[in-house]
């Protein structure tokens, strides 16, 4: 269990499974990969129903632009239905809109998206291919167990700005990235949706060793697991698994049946062993005003 203080972590004799949400479908026993992919396409890949703090949605045909955040995003269906010059024009309008604003924009392309020439046309328009990640879906009720932590490690739910700065520093140090936007993003998200945003940090002797958060979208029946970065010296000791279990407990308690993760190659084996299923892969295509 989590707390707001730093009491010693409990090590239960055996994990305790949370009660199954009454309308959750079993990912392992009932739902096929094709059905899971359909759930992802219908409920998880689009723009969130409510824009984040400071974000405004703009519609452009089959696409939704999210402007005003730490970076822009383009959300679209599995296939826009456009080809050739019409597709080029749609891509150019997104690039030009963010160029007007001086903002970086990310367009996520999945392995099952169409048409096949979409990625080539994005590259021709000045987008650059970034990381490719595996998209996984799991059942919250099947993954919700009592988190088992190493001796001396405690798990806390945090809301204060200084904790967000600590989390950003941990993430930036591990990934060697500029994450100066992250504390403000998480703080604003908590203020705007406190019941649907949970940020967790695992600590040992007051030092953060892992941090993760969960965004819940009950109306869409899923929650997104984000973060999950563990400092190198604490990897392989169960801390990451404990944060997965606690976030699954939170989702199951809210009646949210599905969990979704964009997984790196490092976390993919752990998530698969826990019961997540890979439904597709996703590559980030990014256009930046500073790009040559």
38 phi and psi, to 5 degrees?
-65, -40
The model's pTM is 0.86
Distance CA 215, CA 251 (A): 9
What is the side-by-side strand order in the sheet with 128-139?
A: 56-60, 63-67, 72-75, 105-110, 277-287, 128-139, 258-263, 222-230, 207-217, 197-204, 153-158
Distance CA 212, CA 240 (A): 9
Tokens of 157: 């739910």
The alpha carbon torsion through 174, 67, 90, 132 (nearest 10 deg) reads: 10
Each residue's pLDDT tens digit, 159-210: 999 999 999 999 999 998 899 999 999 999 999 999 999 999 999 999 999 9
Distance CA 27, CA 179 (A): 34
Phi-psi region of 24 (alpha: psi -120 to 50; beta: other; left: phi over 0): beta
Q: Which residue has the tokens 């309008």?
A: 93
Among positive and negative, which fits the CA dihedral 139, 143, 145, 151?
negative
Each residue's pLDDT tens digit, 10-48: 333 322 233 333 333 444 444 688 899 999 999 999 998
Range with lowest mean pLDDT among 30-34, 79-83, 241-245: 30-34
Q: Which residues does residue 110 pair with via DSSP β-bridges, in sequence order?
A: 282
């Amino acid at each position: 269990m989590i707390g707001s203080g730093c009491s010693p972590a409990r090590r239960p004799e055996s994990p305790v499974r949370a009660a199954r949400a009454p309308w959750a479908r079993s990912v392992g026993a009932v739902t096929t990969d094709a059905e899971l992919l359909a759930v992802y396409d219908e409920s998880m890949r689009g723009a969130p129903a409510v824009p984040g703090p400071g974000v405004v949605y703009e519609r452009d045909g089959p696409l939704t632009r999210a402007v005003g955040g730490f970076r822009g995003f383009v959300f679209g269906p599995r296939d826009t239905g456009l080809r050739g010059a019409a597709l080029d024009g749609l891509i150019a309008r997104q690039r030009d809109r963010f160029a007007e604003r001086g903002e970086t924009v990310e367009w996520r392309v999945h392995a099952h998206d169409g048409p096949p020439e979409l990625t080539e046309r994005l590259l021709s328009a000045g987008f650059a291919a970034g990381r490719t990640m595996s998209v996984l879906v799991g059942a919250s009720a099947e993954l919700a167990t009592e988190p088992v932590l190493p001796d001396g490690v405690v798990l806390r739910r945090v809301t204060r700005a200084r904790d967000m700065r600590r989390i950003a520093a941990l993430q930036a140090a591990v990934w060697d990235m500029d994450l100066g936007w992250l504390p403000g993003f998480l703080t604003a998200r908590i203020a705007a949706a406190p019941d649907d945003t949970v940020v967790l940090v695992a600590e040992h002797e007051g030092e953060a060793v892992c941090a993760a958060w969960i965004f819940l979208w009950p109306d869409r029946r899923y929650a997104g697991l984000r973060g999950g970065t563990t400092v190198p010296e604490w990897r392989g000791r169960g801390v990451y698994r404990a944060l997965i279990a606690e976030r699954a407990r939170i989702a199951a308690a809210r009646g949210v049946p599905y969990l979704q993760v964009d997984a790196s190659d490092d976390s993919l084996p752990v998530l698969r062993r826990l019961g997540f299923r890979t439904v597709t892969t996703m590559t980030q295509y990014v256009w930046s005003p500073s790009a040559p």
